[in-house]
Structure 1
């Protein structure tokens, strides 16, 4: 097996600035900034703009925007939920 082929894999804290949430995981990412974690140790910290704590899909705040009436146009062309009722 070849030595020194893989990058250093170490504990890193990822901090979501939008949600005020941080989690400790393992990664190859590097950072000059550090943070003291709950266990009393110091880990490198990487600030991210969005994570599962603030992403609309995971928080349930995602919306489907139908700006051009695409759903209505589709239902007119191909029949909507009440297509079986038309004679």
Structure 2
């Protein structure tokens, strides 16, 4: 790899404000805000709106939509005339 063309990767704390969870990982993201982690070191802090701790898919709170029922209801209401015309 050529030197001087890649961004610097460093430890960064990402905080999910919706779930109140923070995690330390390596990233190229930078922030002027900092926070002190449990190990006593200070790291840049990046606030995120959603992470695996608050996303409905990962938390098991997602709803499954009944798309087949919706299609059937649409066809009952409006028929298949829209697809038959050409």
TM-score range, shorter chain: 0.7 to 0.9
For 2:26 and 2:42, locate their aligned partners in 1 and report how far apart those are by CA, in whole Å.
Answer: 14
* Structure with greater helix percent: 2
Query: C-alpha displacement at 1:65, in angstroms?
Result: 2.7
Give 3-state SS (helix, strand or coil) of 1:65's partner. Answer: coil
The equivalent residue for 1:6 is: 6
For 1:2 and 1:25, locate their aligned partners in 2 and report how far apart those are by CA, in whole Å.
Answer: 25
Superposed CA deviations along residues 29-54 of structure 1, whole A, max 9, x for unmatched, are 00000000000000000000000000
For 1:67 and 1:6, locate their aligned partners in 2 and report how far apart those are by CA, in whole Å.
Answer: 45
For 2:17 and 2:68, locate their aligned partners in 1 and report how far apart those are by CA, in whole Å.
Answer: 34
Give 3-state SS (helix, strand or coil) of 2:57's partner. Answer: helix
Give 3-state SS (helix, strand or coil) of 1:35's partner. Answer: strand
Answering whether residue 26 of structure 2 is matched by residue 18 of structure 1, we say: no
Q: Stretches of 4+ moved more than 2 A in 1?
A: 65-71
The equivalent residue for 2:50 is: 50
Unaligned runs of 5+ in 2: 73-86
For 1:10 and 1:67, locate their aligned partners in 2 and report how far apart those are by CA, in whole Å.
Answer: 44
